[in-house]
Structure 1
Amino acid sequence: MPPLKRSDLYTLETYAVERDAFRARVLAHKKRRKLHLGPHITLLFEDRLTIQYQIQEMLRIERIFEPDAIQDELDAYNPLIPSGRDLRATMLVEYPDMEERARELARLGGIEHRVRIEIEGHGRATTFADEDMPRSADDKTAAVHFLRFAFEPAQIDALRAGASLAVAIDDPRMPLRVEPDADTRRALLDDFA
């Protein structure tokens, strides 16, 4: 997927008019791209539309309209758009209770490095966590991580040919494995060029 450019974005004025309709479209789109690995871990697989929404909201909230500042936002968010050979996801570690969240984030230190995508008969995609900056300390993890799953061409071909796909956490502290439904699987396959 090509990176976003300034010309792809709404101006603040246009976004104010279009926001409700655009937001509804993005939220419907995100439903197909969201995968709950369990009650406390969710992956949102990003693409050009989800990232445009994030940028538009940031520009709106911060009232950013200067070209250089807009470019800074594009530079920060464009790395979250899949390249055509990978999938990119925001990983959310969600505990509504503050005390439980603090306790679990401490218990799950490094969990972001244990998330896997398995391709039937073709091993695992290579996982990279938080390439932009570390978000965990030795004694705890963060509530939000950015993951990139790099695929070999043969793995992509196998998925296109119908091989099953599973997302797993390979860690005894939270062993989880989920196969996306057909709708989510199709959305993810669309990310490969």
Structure 2
Amino acid sequence: MHKLSRDDLLSLERYAAQRGEFRARAIAHKRARTLSLGTHATLLFEDRLTVQYQVQEMLRVERIFEAAGIEEELAAYNPLIPDGRNLKATLLLEYADEAERRRALAGLGGIEHRLFAQVDGFDPIPVRADEDLDRSTDAKTSAVHFLRFEFADAAIAALRGGAALAFGIDDPRMPLRATVGEPLRGALLADFD
């Protein structure tokens, strides 16, 4: 997947006119790229469209229209687009009640480093979390983390051949595992093209 450039983005005026339709398409696309690991942990697998939506929204909210500002947003979000050998995801640690969220996040410092991907027949693939900046301390973690999973050629070939794919958290504080079903599996396979 190639990275976004300014030419791929709509001007603020054009985006305002098309926002409703674009937003509906992006939300439906995100829904198909989401994996619930458990009650409080969700993975949203990023791709070019999810990143474009995020950039367009940031430009809109911040009223950014100058080239330098647009380039800064692209530089911040383009690393979330998979490059054909990896999957990139946003980990969302979700708690509806604010007090419960604060308590839970206070007890989950470093949890983002305990995620893994597992292709059937292969060793777990460890996560690379928050490469842009640290979002966790020993005392607490953030509710949002950016993740990268690097796949070997043999694992990608096995996935294309029908091997199962799962993601999980290997930590006694939140031991979770979920197998990827359709249509998400198909969407993730396309990220390797």
**Is the TM value for this pair above 0.5?**
yes
Secondary structure at the residue paired with 2:3? coil
8 Å Cα contact 1:126-1:151 kept in structure 2: no
Does residue 97 of structure 2 align to residue 97 of structure 1? yes
Shift of 1:106: 1.1
The residue that corresponds to 2:146 in the other structure is 146
Q: How many residues align?
A: 193
The residue that corresponds to 1:157 in the other structure is 157
Shift of 1:67: 0.4
CA distance in 1 between partners of 2:181 and 2:163 (Å): 13
The residue that corresponds to 1:60 in the other structure is 60
CA distance in 2 between partners of 1:115 and 1:166 (Å): 11
- For 1:50, the aligned partner's letter is T
The residue that corresponds to 2:175 in the other structure is 175
Shift of 1:125: 2.2
Q: How does 1:1-193 map to 2 (within 5 A)?
A: 1-193=1-193
8 Å Cα contact 1:125-1:152 kept in structure 2: no
CA distance in 2 between partners of 1:33 and 1:158 (Å): 20
CA RMSD of aligned residues (A): 0.7
Shift of 1:57: 0.2
Secondary structure at the residue paired with 2:146? strand
Query: Structure 1 regions of 5+ residues with no counterpart?
Result: none
8 Å Cα contact 1:128-1:148 kept in structure 2: yes
Query: Structure 2 regions of 5+ residues with no counterpart?
Result: none
**Which TM-score applies when normalising by structure 1?**
0.98
CA distance in 1 between partners of 2:161 and 2:125 (Å): 17
Identity %: 61
- For 1:20, the aligned partner's letter is G
- For 1:87, the aligned partner's letter is L
Name segments (4+ residues, structure 1) moved above 3 Å. Answer: none
